[in-house]
């Protein structure tokens, strides 16, 4: 990621979140901003991340949008991608995941995106982390399960692990770098 990118402001991220929620509702496809942020956290940790073309169409179903809107939305998502990468790789970054500014249950969607990234693109690393760091892996998995409809995780279980989520993400970062 380039360090010269212009980060999205909080207002721009909230507008992107609203736009993505509208697309999800209209098209029954795409990812919410919290899911993207989690997925991008995972991507930043991969030794060999997949090409953007591998995941972008699933994350951002813009095929039916007018070209100008498609280009602008894609640019914002790629700025978000750069922001997340900078957050994990730059100790001086002041960026924080959207769930810090919104509803804490959005953290479950961030965890879902994070877990899905590793399950799909680094299953061996995910399995090793789950073996070597059982408690932290359980935090991430519990958070992700809470996001799933019909999940087996209660609000009380979510509340018990929510504060440990980012600590677990940073432990995963240490384990993968």
Residue 100 neighbours by CB distance under 10 Å = 13
Let me know if residue 156 belongs to a domain.
yes
Residue 64's contacts (CB-CB under 8 Å, 6 or more residues apart) are 27
pLDDT digits (tens, 9 = 90+) for 26-70: 989 999 999 999 999 999 999 999 999 999 999 999 888 899 999
Q: Output the CA–CA distances (angstroms, integers) from residue 47 to 41, 61, 121, 124, 177, in the order listed.
A: 13, 27, 10, 12, 8
pLDDT digits (tens, 9 = 90+) for 63-106: 888 999 999 999 999 999 999 999 999 988 889 999 999 988 89
Let me know if residue 17 belongs to a domain.
yes
Let me know if residue 2 belongs to a domain.
no
- CA–CA dist 115, 43 (Å, integer): 11
**CATH number for 164:** 1.20.120
Let me know if residue 5 belongs to a domain.
no
Let me know if residue 68 belongs to a domain.
yes
Quick check: 163 pLDDT over 50?
Answer: yes
- What size, in residues, is the chain? 177
Q: Output the CA–CA distances (angstroms, integers) from residue 130 to 23, 24, 118, 168, in the order listed.
A: 34, 31, 11, 11
Q: Output the CA–CA distances (angstroms, integers) from residue 67 to 15, 33, 63, 64, 106, in the order listed.
A: 19, 21, 9, 9, 30
Let me know if residue 3 belongs to a domain.
no
* DSSP at 27: H
Task: Tell me the two tokens of residue 26.
Answer: 């209209």
Let me know if residue 142 belongs to a domain.
yes
User: Does residue 27 or residue 177 have the better pLDDT?
Assistant: 27
Domain of residue 50 covers: 10-176
Nearest Cα to 76, choosing from 11, 12, 165, 143?
Answer: 12
Domain count, the chain: 1
State the Cα torsion 141-104-163-107 to the nearest 10°.
30
pLDDT digits (tens, 9 = 90+) for 110-143: 999 999 999 999 999 999 999 999 999 999 999 9
Let me know if residue 4 belongs to a domain.
no
| Alpha-helix runs per DSSP H in 46-154 | 52-59, 67-89, 106-121, 123-132, 134-147
């Amino acid at each position: 990621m380039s360090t010269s990118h212009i980060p999205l402001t909080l207002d721009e991220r909230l507008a992107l979140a609203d736009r993505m929620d509208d697309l999800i509702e209209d098209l029954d496809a795409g990812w919410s901003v919290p899911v993207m942020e989690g997925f991008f956290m995972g991507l930043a940790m991969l030794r060999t991340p997949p090409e953007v073309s591998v995941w972008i169409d699933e994350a951002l179903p813009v095929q039916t949008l007018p070209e100008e809107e498609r280009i602008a939305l894609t640019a914002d998502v790629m700025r978000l991608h750069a922001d997340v990468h900078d957050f994990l790789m730059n100790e001086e970054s002041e960026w924080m995941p959207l769930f810090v500014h919104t509803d804490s249950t959005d953290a479950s969607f961030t965890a879902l995106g994070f877990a899905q990234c590793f399950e799909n693109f680094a299953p061996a690393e995910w399995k090793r982390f789950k073996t070597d760091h059982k408690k932290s892996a359980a935090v991430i998995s519990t958070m992700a399960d809470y996001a799933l409809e019909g999940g087996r995780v209660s609000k009380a279980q979510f509340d018990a692990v929510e504060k440990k989520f980012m600590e677990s993400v940073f432990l995963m970062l240490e384990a993968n770098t």
